[in-house]
Amino acid sequence: MEQLKAYYNAWKTNLNITESLTLTSGVRKPLTSALIQYARSSAVPDVLEQPLRPCCVEQGLRQPNPDNQASTSASATQSGAVPMPQSTATEVQLARQHIQHMTAQSRPQQKQRKPRTCARCAIPACKGKKSRDFCDHPCRDCGLDKSQCRGRNSKYPNEPCHLARLRPEQ
């Protein structure tokens, strides 16, 4: 019965909204056409005719040649390119170590999970941590045995057993 009442109220609300929009459409249409000027869309620039290309450097980068450094640096400064400095093997190793160290630090460390406990007695060694049906201990909140109290609701572990009974367990 309650579902029918809720459905009817929602239907009545939607019907009232539709009726209000229908009755006020004569007033709203001139206002909408005055506020929305479709002539503004003609001032929008046309779409580019050629697709955009990503920027990539194809020329101007030169690596130094150890045989004739003087001629390379002279030709590099004339062409506007900056010569790349030579790096030693130790610098490369240091850079690789630094990168490995930084990536190791950026990885999140996994937290250890809290050990499972029984919902009825909260003893970690209890067989009830697998299923509360296996627990043979009394309830930690009320002290009753398993035939009289099911224990806490596992969805709300911070609430005592008498409050857990009020909520349906899913």
Q: Which residues of 78-88 are buried (b: 16+ CB within 10 A; e: fewer)?
A: eeeeebeeeee
pLDDT, average across residues 111-124? 84
pLDDT, average across residues 62-67? 61
Q: Is residue 150 part of a domain?
A: yes
Q: Is residue 103 part of a domain?
A: no
**Enclosing domain of residue 143:** 117-170
C-alpha dist (Å) from residue 47 to 22, 40, 43, 106: 39, 16, 12, 43
Domain count, the chain: 1
Q: Is residue 127 part of a domain?
A: yes
Count of CB atoms situated within 10 Å of the CB of 163: 13
Pick 110 or 61 by higher pLDDT: 110
163 Cβ contact list (under 8 Å, min separation 6): 153, 156
Q: Is residue 54 part of a domain?
A: no
**Cα–Cα nearest to 66, from 81, 85, 82:** 85
Q: Is residue 151 part of a domain?
A: yes
Q: Distance between CA atoms of 78 and 76, rounded to whole angstroms?
A: 5
Q: Distance between CA atoms of 117 and 114, rounded to whole angstroms?
A: 9
Q: Is residue 132 part of a domain?
A: yes
pLDDT of residue 149: 84
**Cα–Cα nearest to 151, from 170, 4, 3, 131:** 131
**Cα–Cα nearest to 144, from 156, 152, 153, 155:** 152
pTM over cut 0.75: no
Pick 47 or 77 by higher pLDDT: 47
Q: Is residue 12 part of a domain?
A: no
155 band by pLDDT with thresholds 50, 70 and 90: confident
Q: Is residue 166 part of a domain?
A: yes
